[in-house]
Structures are given as structure tokens and as C-alpha cells.
Amino acid sequence: MNALFSGPPTRACRAGHPASESSGSALSSGPRSRRAPRGEAGLTTLEWLLIVAAVAGLAALAVVLVQNVVDDTAEQLGGASARETAANVAADTVIREARTASPDDARYNTWQRWELYFTARCERLEILYSDTNLDVEAIFKRPTGKGDNDPTTTDELNRADKQSASSGKPQAVCTRSS
């Protein structure tokens, strides 16, 4: 019978043949379609979808982590510059108050008290703003020719500036140096 047919046996021929019923043969799978081994077919659509989703998830996680680091850094930098600005404003306030001090106030009604009071106020800024790591220079000097117990006057206090003290003009300096 094999001499009459020159090709492989058909499904109808194999159905009753004992040799065609052996298990493990790709041809004996019956009505099911033939499945290619794993190495031949590659990844299925679902597997590709899972891989793409995992990569997208990792990318999203990386973006969130980078944003958090950038936000934290910006807050630290912004906070530091805000504190430095606040220290500058506070130093300017000390100078303004030294110039507009009332000679009737017992805290600074003599030149010695005026120098001590505003020097201490300026130096306290260094403690208050110690997180900015900057030093404060405090110079409050009475006009030349004035003694420790000489009373302050509104006119002389109003003329206080950063220049060296002179006759009738005190010196008031409260600056931050790095």
C-alpha cells in the first residue's frame, strides 16, 4: 500500500494506524493546531504588554523621585535665601531704629547706653540667624568729643550713618559679612 502513495500519510490514513497514535509527536496532536516551540514564536502580545507596562511604571517612579529631590532642594535653597534676606532686613531695621531712637528712652539716653544697646541688638542677629552661617559686623560709635554719660540728641542720632563718626555725627553699622 505504501508503494501507491508517495507523500506522507494523511490524517485519514493515520487515524487507525497504531504507529500514528504514539504520544509526543507533533503530527499526532489530532484536531488541535500545531504549537511552535517557545524559541520559534517569540513573545506573545500579552507578554509584550506586561513588559511595556513594567517599563512605564519604572519610568513614572523615576520621574516622581527626581521631582521630590528637586522640590526638596528648591525648598532648602529658597528657605536659605529667605533667611538671608530676613537677616539683611533685620540689620537695616537695627540701623533705622538707632537713627530714630528717642533720647527720652532710658535704654539709650546716653551715648554709652546707645552704643551698648544697638551693638547688642545687632550682634543678636548673628544668633537669631545662625543657620545662615554669616557673621555680623556691629559698629555703633558716638560722635567725636562726646563722653559716656553725655545725653543723646535727636539731631545727632538722625545724622548717624555708616561713615566714621565725626563731630556731631555718630556711626551706625550693622551689616552681614560672609
Q: What is the pLDDT of residues 7-52, one digit of tens each?
A: 555 555 455 555 544 444 445 555 666 665 555 557 788 888 899 9
The reported pLDDT for the residue numbered 99 is: 93
Comparing 114 with 14, the larger pLDDT belongs to 114
* 130 pLDDT tier (thresholds 50, 70, 90): confident
Supply angle C-alpha 82, 86, 89, rounded to 5.
140
Helix (H, G, I), strand (E, B) or coil at 35: coil
Q: Which comes out higher in pLDDT, residue 80 or 49?
A: 49
pLDDT at position 33 is 64
Q: Report pLDDT for 124.
A: 93
Mean pLDDT over all residues of the chain?
Answer: 80
Report the pLDDT value the prediction gives residue 110, as an integer from 0 to 100: 94
Residues 6+ apart with CB under 8 A from 118: 94, 97, 98, 101, 108, 138, 140, 172, 174
Taking alpha carbons only, the member of 31, 6, 174, 3 closest to residue 94 is 174
User: Is the pTM here over 0.85, yes or no?
Assistant: no
- For helices 111-128 and 45-99, what crossing angle results, to 10°? 180
Q: What is the pLDDT of residues 137-177, one digit of tens each?
A: 899 999 999 999 999 999 999 999 888 888 889 999 998 77
Identify which has the larger pLDDT, 57 or 36: 57
